[in-house]
A and B are shown apart, each in its own frame.
Chain A
């Protein structure tokens, strides 16, 4: 069965690399966008020595962790955004009748290879930032560094899937999901201290996005949380990601059962 998914991904890769010039430019500009995001942090620190009580070093670590986790999730499941298209046009019917699971099938069918450029860049960026920030490495910090992008990627992926499920009920409301996916990345890149209370509670601890960049970066750089959060908070990221997936899969099941095709 996994061979079938592999074939679907392969077919996608072949078709996406057909227009070679266009594909090359696309990969390159995807990769550049990561550099731009790092540059934004530098520009922000050009006009202000601190942001929310943190220096360049800490914010760069936060930003690099969050962007890497997001780009990874975007490569793997980002294209689930196209679900609304499938629902609107009734194309989901074709997916439903095949003897394969629906979610993996959609992910394989819409796999966007060009996003690999972005993941490559953001992993390099993370490495460079860590060399620059030069934390004092301990076994616990190394483990945190390995754990955070994986859990962060899983969390963002769950957010992508949950957001896409909105399309089962409101076909044209895809943009709501953007507030939590792209908005979630934006949120996770900067210290949680800069946000107003409500936003911080909902995005940071409701959705769990403070555990993707902010708390792990505090742990890695040995900075105490000015908001009074305990040290061990950053270790909760896998549990939060698992819980988010539980909700995502529940939403997905309900959504699929709610789907009634287009009727035309």
Chain B
């Protein structure tokens, strides 16, 4: 049964770039609409994000007693870090994502491979749509809630907000690419849950969602920033928005995210090719 699906990815894309862009945009819109139907879930999520925000910020504020600056942040910067952090958690979505792995296990992935669009591109578009919806439904309210309850740091440099938007988009693309890579593991293991658990743990700790990575010793920071893509998911966008580093390093860190995207996307495409080459359809 494998022959018919062995090389579907080599199907030539339509040469027209505008058509391709239009198609990508349509898929982004579909992703947005799909998630916008879960309004109740968004409300529940807002409540949870807000509770967690208060808890995490309470801990952070306790660390700044007596005017201490843990990791070089002051109390207001930490407030922004925590609340914008709660907001972008569900935008970046560095959590469990099993859509592709489930389709591999059930065999539905054959349908994705027959379509005249690379599955990576199609799933990425849908994920960007989901992220766009999350910005509206999940990010703005926790940030407002935090601003009402606590003193937050307001960015001073004029280019910080656009840079943050770019950094957030790159963080989402990085997060998606890594999630996709984990799911591709299902082509070999059939059950990618174990890999998913490793990913969940790594993305939680090494991205800076538990605590800002600047709390760590210098050597650990160097290893994480230059040896892994994880800070790009969460820590870099947040450092950009609280202007923790100077302008040069602030822009440099976004370039670092770009470098990781440039490394990981071709890698994922290669792994995907290897995966589809060895694909055996389940239940066929």
Q: Which residues of A contact B (CB under 8 A)?
A: 18-19, 21-26, 29-30, 32-33, 36, 40, 43-44, 46-48, 50-52, 114, 170-176, 178-179, 183, 186-187, 190, 193-196, 199
- With CB as the reference atom, state the residue of chain B lying closest to A200: B58
Q: Which 8 A-B pairs have the closest CB atoms?
A: A25-B194, A47-B70, A22-B194, A19-B191, A173-B44, A29-B197, A175-B44, A179-B51
Inter-chain CA distance A135–B45, complex, in Å, is: 41
- With CB as the reference atom, state the residue of chain A lying closest to B45: A175
Q: Which residues of B contact A (CB under 8 A)?
A: 38, 40-41, 43-45, 47-48, 51-52, 54-56, 58-59, 61-63, 65, 68, 70-71, 189-195, 197-198, 200-201, 204-205, 210-211, 215-217
- With CB as the reference atom, state the residue of chain B lying closest to A48: B63
Q: Are A22 and B192 in touch, CB under 8 angstroms?
A: yes
Q: Which of A173, A175, A186 has the most CB of B within 10 A?
A: A175
Q: Are B59 and A44 in touch, CB under 8 angstroms?
A: yes
Q: With a CB–CB cut-off of 8 A, which chain B residues contact A19?
A: 189-191, 193-194
- With CB as the reference atom, state the residue of chain B lying closest to A39: B205
Q: With a CB–CB cut-off of 8 A, which chain A residues contact B217?
A: 46
Q: With a CB–CB cut-off of 8 A, which chain A residues contact B200?
A: 29
Q: Are A196 and B58 in touch, CB under 8 angstroms?
A: yes
The one of A18, A23, A50 that contacts B194, using a Cβ cutoff of 8 Å: A23
Inter-chain CA distance A178–B204, complex, in Å, is: 16
B93 to chain A, nearest CB (A): 13
Q: Are A195 and B38 in touch, CB under 8 angstroms?
A: no
Q: Are B205 and A36 in touch, CB under 8 angstroms?
A: yes
Q: Are A44 and B215 in touch, CB under 8 angstroms?
A: yes
The one of B41, B47, B61 that contacts A172, using a Cβ cutoff of 8 Å: B41
Q: Are A21 and B189 in touch, CB under 8 angstroms?
A: yes
Inter-chain CA distance A179–B198, complex, in Å, is: 23
The one of B44, B56, B195, B215 that contacts A43, using a Cβ cutoff of 8 Å: B215
Q: Are A173 and B55 in touch, CB under 8 angstroms?
A: no
- Tell me if A's interface is mostly helix, strand, loop or mixed: helix
- With CB as the reference atom, state the residue of chain A lying closest to B213: A43
Q: Are B62 and A52 in touch, CB under 8 angstroms?
A: yes
B27 to chain A, nearest CB (A): 24
Q: Are B59 and A47 in touch, CB under 8 angstroms?
A: no
Inter-chain CA distance A186–B53, complex, in Å, is: 11
Inter-chain CA distance A46–B70, complex, in Å, is: 9
Q: With a CB–CB cut-off of 8 A, which chain A residues contact B195?
A: 22, 25
A83 to chain B, nearest CB (A): 14
Q: Are B70 and A48 in touch, CB under 8 angstroms?
A: yes
Q: Are A172 and B38 in touch, CB under 8 angstroms?
A: yes
Q: List 18 A-B contacts (CB under 8 A).
A: A19-B194, A25-B197, A33-B201, A36-B201, A48-B70, A172-B41, A173-B41, A173-B44, A175-B47, A176-B44, A176-B48, A179-B47, A190-B62, A194-B58, A196-B54, A196-B58, A199-B51, A199-B55
- With CB as the reference atom, state the residue of chain B lying closest to A202: B51
Q: Are A24 and B194 in touch, CB under 8 angstroms?
A: yes
Inter-chain CA distance A186–B204, complex, in Å, is: 15
Q: Are B68 and A195 in touch, CB under 8 angstroms?
A: no
Given contact pairs A36-B201, A44-B211, A186 touches B194 in the complex (Cβ within 8 A)? no
Q: Are B54 and A44 in touch, CB under 8 angstroms?
A: no
Q: With a CB–CB cut-off of 8 A, which chain B residues contact A173?
A: 40-41, 43-44
Q: Are B44 and A194 in touch, CB under 8 angstroms?
A: no
Inter-chain CA distance A196–B38, complex, in Å, is: 32
Q: Are A199 and B54 in touch, CB under 8 angstroms?
A: yes
Q: With a CB–CB cut-off of 8 A, which chain B residues contact A47?
A: 63, 68, 70-71, 215
The one of B43, B55, B191, B198 that contacts A195, using a Cβ cutoff of 8 Å: B55
Q: With a CB–CB cut-off of 8 A, which chain B residues contact A175?
A: 41, 44-45, 47-48
Inter-chain CA distance A40–B62, complex, in Å, is: 15
A184 to chain B, nearest CB (A): 10
Q: With a CB–CB cut-off of 8 A, which chain A residues contact B210?
A: 36, 40
Q: With a CB–CB cut-off of 8 A, which chain A residues contact B63?
A: 44, 47-48, 51
Q: Which of B40, B52, B194 has the most CB of A within 10 A?
A: B194
Q: Are B194 and A183 in touch, CB under 8 angstroms?
A: no
Q: With a CB–CB cut-off of 8 A, which chain B residues contact A24?
A: 194
Q: Are B40 and A22 in touch, CB under 8 angstroms?
A: no
A264 to chain B, nearest CB (A): 17
Inter-chain CA distance A174–B192, complex, in Å, is: 24
Given contact pairs A48-B68, A172-B40, A195-B55, A32 touches B47 in the complex (Cβ within 8 A)? no
